[in-house]
Structure 1
Amino acid sequence: MTKKVKLLNREVREQYYKIVTGVSTVISLILIFVEIPDDWKIKTGIIFSFVMVTIYFCVWRYANNLTNIKLNIDGSDVQIKVGDIFKQDELKVIPFNEYFDTKVDNVIIGEKSLNGQYINKYHPDPKQLDTFISEDKSLEDDIISTHVKRNGKTIKYKLGSSVLINDYVLTAFTKFDEKNKAFLSIYDYLNFLVYFWDEINRIYAQKSVSVPIFGSGITRFRGGFEDIDDNELLNIMIWTFKISKIKFKYPAKLSIIIHEKKIDQINIFKLKEFEK
């Protein structure tokens, strides 16, 4: 068992206290009608203590093995789970760079990245995808500049700009440096999320939306945040969603999809605090 959650974790203790309160209430009611023989009182106390310790370790083990959690955040259903984003229902979000590049050459776009997989699977002829993006009217107001001296597309879009193509939402997530490496500052990340949630509010049309943990791949963070981990990214995503104007009404929901190779690093149990 991966020890993502410490033994004396606050959330584990709070969950344990709730269980103990319920168990104690039931036992108190039983003892009103049932008297424990004198020769069993010590044994009963030992058994009770053993059960309480066992319950605590069961809660702790549950917290460490949790791979799926459902939250209600200000009226919106939010699910965080392990899965494959390409196999999710309704709308799936795929992060691109700020130029919406479509050249999968393992230089500009890696074939194993989410956008590389998406392009190879659904757009074997990237020119068609380029046409969809360039002709999307909603992106016209998000153009920042034109950069003619680069090995790729030349129109730069505002981070968070998004375009709907069938069941996929493509979004401009990362900046690109002169060596075609994706990077962000934490301030870019926050600005991206704030604008992205607004874009989802415009696009989703009461459909469920699935997103990856943005920045969980090879994105390079700068400005003193080079060591930011997936737990922190996930917390920032949920926090910015919480303060956004978007509200998913049943049966629509937001799903944040965690890659199976990342789950051992992520404390899902701690996310319960967002419901408080």
Structure 2
Amino acid sequence: TCYAGVIRLKEVIMKTFRLFVRNTLLSLGITSSIVTVLWAIFSAQLNDLVKDCEWLFLGSIIIINIIYGVISVLPKNSVKLKLGENLKVDVGFGDLFQKEGVVVIPVNDYFDTLVDEKVVSSNTIHGIFVKRFFSGNEKLLKRLISASLKNIVPVEVNKTRKQGNHSRYALGTVACVPYEGKRYFLVALTKFNENYRAEVTKSEYQRVLCDLFDYIEQNSQGNRVNVPLIGGGHSGLELPKQKLLEFLLLSITLNDKLTLINGLDIVLHQSVKDEVSLNIIESYYQTL
């Protein structure tokens, strides 16, 4: 809702303001320490230099540090993070499907290929993937998914389901779909409730991320991996986009086994730009 959007925007603004204060005070502290050391060494020269303009000198230092604080919180389009000895992550805005390497696609637990706004919505990553690459040839996509899942036993075969696929798989299951020289990792993120609406609980979401990154560790074969803001679409998760991004990064950080030679990209859609602050993310991981 509009009200919820205003609340989320206020949260980002408050976090950004706190970051500005923190960076300004940190910079001021460092500057003060440097000036103190220099004054102890060159006290006579510096006293002569600022004679009769001490307040101007002090004011200049404060203004310079405030300017630094403002610059440090100007919105960024991308940041580079080091989440471990063997893992570098780039977070930025862009088109997920234009990225080189493996692309992760969140889907429902039936791995449906029917984009009809009921089974799969055309404005989700799942729907865009099907329409962009397999429009008019959904049977090929279904065959590729079936080939990848042939050794995985579904948790249920629902023959009464009127639309979409019949086999339902455990959340966190991943199907590898090779197409036109690229590989797509389709991960079962959501399940349908009685109203045919996709959803996932917070505990299930955590499990899905663990299973996904375990699969990536075993099957990415050294390729760069591109991940969207998982759960940020029609998943039913009632979490702000900023918190989703923070949790996604935390899940990556906690996976000690995850090693990607060519790194990992978290690709954010432009529509969440007002809800996500990469400055806050960068500051947090720089502190760590």
Query: Which TM-score band (shorter chain)?
Result: 0.7 to 0.9
Q: Say if 1:270 and 1:46 are closer, same or farther in 2 by CA, change over 3 A.
A: closer
User: TM-score under structure 1 normalisation?
Assistant: 0.86
2:169 corresponds to: 157
Q: Say if 1:236 and 1:43 are closer, same or farther in 2 by CA, change over 3 A.
A: closer
2:155 corresponds to: 144
1:110 corresponds to: 121
Q: Deviations over 1:119-143 (max 9, x none)?
A: 1221121111111111225x53352
Larger displacement relative to structure 2 (266-275 or 153-162): 266-275
The answer (yes or no) to whether the contact 2:101–2:224 under 8 Å persists in 1 is yes
Work out the CA distance in 2 between the residues paired with 1:37 and 1:107.
72
Instruction: Report the AA paired with residue 148 of structure 2.
Output: D
Work out the CA distance in 2 between the residues paired with 1:45 and 1:19.
14
User: TM-score under structure 2 normalisation?
Assistant: 0.83
The answer (yes or no) to whether the contact 1:5–1:267 under 8 Å persists in 2 is no
1:270 corresponds to: 280
Count of aligned residue pairs for this structure pair: 265
Query: 5+ residue gaps in structure 2?
Result: 1-8
Larger displacement relative to structure 2 (150-159 or 23-32): 23-32
Identity of aligned residues (%): 20
Instruction: Report the AA paired with residue 78 of structure 2.
Output: N
Work out the CA distance in 2 between the residues paired with 1:84 and 1:10.
31
Matched, 1:100 2:111: yes
Cα displacement (A) at 1:103:
0.5
Work out the CA distance in 1 between the residues paired with 2:67 and 2:160.
64
Cα displacement (A) at 1:28:
4.5
Matched, 1:184 2:195: no
Work out the CA distance in 2 between the residues paired with 1:129 and 1:212.
20
Q: Deviations over 1:187-208 (max 9, x none)?
A: 1111111111111112211111
The answer (yes or no) to whether the contact 2:109–2:190 under 8 Å persists in 1 is yes
Matched, 1:256 2:266: yes
Work out the CA distance in 2 between the residues paired with 1:246 and 1:69.
23
Q: Deviations over 1:156-197 (max 9, x none)?
A: 111111122222111111111244311111111111111111
2:245 corresponds to: 234
The 5 Å alignment of 1:1-276 reads 4-6=12-14, 9-28=17-36, 31=39, 32=42, 33-34=45-46, 35-60=48-73, 62=74, 65-75=75-85, 76-124=87-135, 125-137=137-149, 140-150=151-161, 151-166=163-178, 167=182, 168-221=184-237, 227-250=238-261, 252-271=262-281, 272-274=283-285, 276=288
Work out the CA distance in 2 between the residues paired with 1:8 and 1:205.
38
* SS of corresponding position for 1:261: helix
Work out the CA distance in 2 between the residues paired with 1:119 and 1:262.
22
The answer (yes or no) to whether the contact 2:213–2:258 under 8 Å persists in 1 is no
Instruction: Report the AA paired with residue 130 of structure 1.
Output: K
Work out the CA distance in 1 between the residues paired with 2:264 and 2:219.
13
Cα displacement (A) at 1:21:
4.2
1:224 corresponds to: none
Query: 5+ residue gaps in structure 1?
Result: 222-226
